[in-house]
């Protein structure tokens, strides 16, 4: 029984709250405004020098768009071997190999021509092109400074239409699993920096994304600053933090999830 073997074993200590956007967002590979990403929560348990934030918009009542910011502080070299990856298990049903609902977005060489989307086969990945670039998926990058780091580094912005049937996470209560990884070919010794620090081929080890129907609380913005400034203090804060109680429902209404 395949279902019996698929356990949702998300990686402890790595998670992200996906709040509703309030400041606006434009996928141009940089902070378009000074406040563009201050209304988004930072993932917990990130590797050093990597930032991941997410938030969502609904440009019309029929669509939910999820926006992801990825900053790679230590890569300021444009190499053909650079890459970032975004793994997505919309059903959050895990498994030790890519299932047919799972996706791997691979963006190599910091350029659109290096974009390949893979879909799980049950045992591995196969290239998949049944998406519309521009409306269902957008990736943009620049080498720039940002409000999070004044040194020049790669900044990526990713947009996914999560109402697209294959990327719809409503069946999992808007609690999908994701994984983000970056690699600097000029610093091969550092290896792949992955969040969680697990394989792109093992969905059962990815991180929990919690879709929240509402804007980020003011306290979470402060918490983000604390998390960035002091791991020791953050551990204490983290233990006090309550999990969001609500998640996005397909109707757009608030629904209790626990």
Q: Spell out the residues 6+ positions from residue 136 whose beta carbon is closer than 8 angstroms to its own.
A: 160, 161, 164, 167
Task: Please say which residue, 188 or 235, places its beta carbon nearer to Ca ion.
Answer: 188
Segment (H or E) for 150: strand 149-161
Is 28 a binding residue for Ca ion by CB under 5 A? The answer is yes
Residues 102-131 that bind Ca ion (CB under 5 A): 102
Is 141 a binding residue for Ca ion by CB under 5 A? The answer is no
- Dist CA 194 CA 197 (whole Å): 5
Q: State the DSSP code for 63.
A: -
Q: Which of the stretches 13-21, 92-100, 209-217, 235-243 binds Ca ion when contact is defined by CB under 5 A? A: 92-100
Is 99 a binding residue for Ca ion by CB under 5 A? The answer is yes
Per-residue contact string for residues 148-187; x = within reach of Ca ion by CB under 5 A: ------------------------------------x-x-
Q: Which of the stretches 8-16, 78-86, 207-215, 244-252 binds Ca ion when contact is defined by CB under 5 A? A: 78-86
Interior angle at CA 158, CA 151 and CA 137, nearest 5: 155
Say what angle helices 218-229 and 231-240 make with each other, to 10 degrees: 150
- Alpha helices, H only, 111-174: none
Q: Which positions touch Ca ion (CB under 5 A)?
A: 26, 28, 32, 75, 77, 79, 82, 89, 91, 93, 99, 101-102, 184, 186
């Amino acid at each position: 029984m395949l279902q019996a073997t698929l356990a949702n074993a998300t990686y402890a200590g790595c998670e992200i709250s996906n709040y509703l956007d309030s400041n606006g967002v434009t996928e141009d590979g940089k902070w378009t405004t000074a406040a563009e990403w201050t209304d988004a929560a930072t993932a917990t348990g990130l590797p050093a020098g990597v930032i991941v934030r997410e938030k969502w918009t609904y440009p019309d009542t029929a669509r939910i768009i999820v926006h992801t910011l990825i900053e790679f502080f230590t890569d300021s070299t444009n190499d053909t071997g650079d890459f970032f990856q975004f793994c997505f298990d919309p059903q959050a049903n895990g498994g030790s190999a890519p299932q047919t609902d799972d996706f791997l977005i691979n963006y190599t060489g910091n350029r659109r021509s290096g974009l390949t989307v893979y879909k799980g086969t049950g045992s591995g990945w196969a290239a998949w092109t049944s998406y519309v670039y521009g409306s269902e998926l957008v990736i943009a990058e620049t080498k720039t400074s940002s409000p999070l780091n004044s040194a020049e580094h790669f900044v990526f912005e990713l947009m996914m239409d999560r109402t697209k049937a294959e990327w719809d996470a409503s069946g999992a209560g808007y609690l999908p699993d994701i994984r983000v990884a970056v690699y600097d070919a000029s610093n091969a010794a550092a290896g792949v920096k992955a969040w969680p620090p697990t394989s792109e081929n093992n969905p059962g080890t990815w991180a929990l994304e919690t879709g929240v129907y509402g804007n980020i609380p003011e306290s979470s913005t402060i918490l983000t600053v604390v998390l960035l400034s002091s791991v020791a203090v953050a551990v204490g804060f983290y233990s006090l933090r309550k999990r969001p109680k609500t998640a996005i429902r397909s109707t757009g209404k608030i629904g209790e999830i626990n």
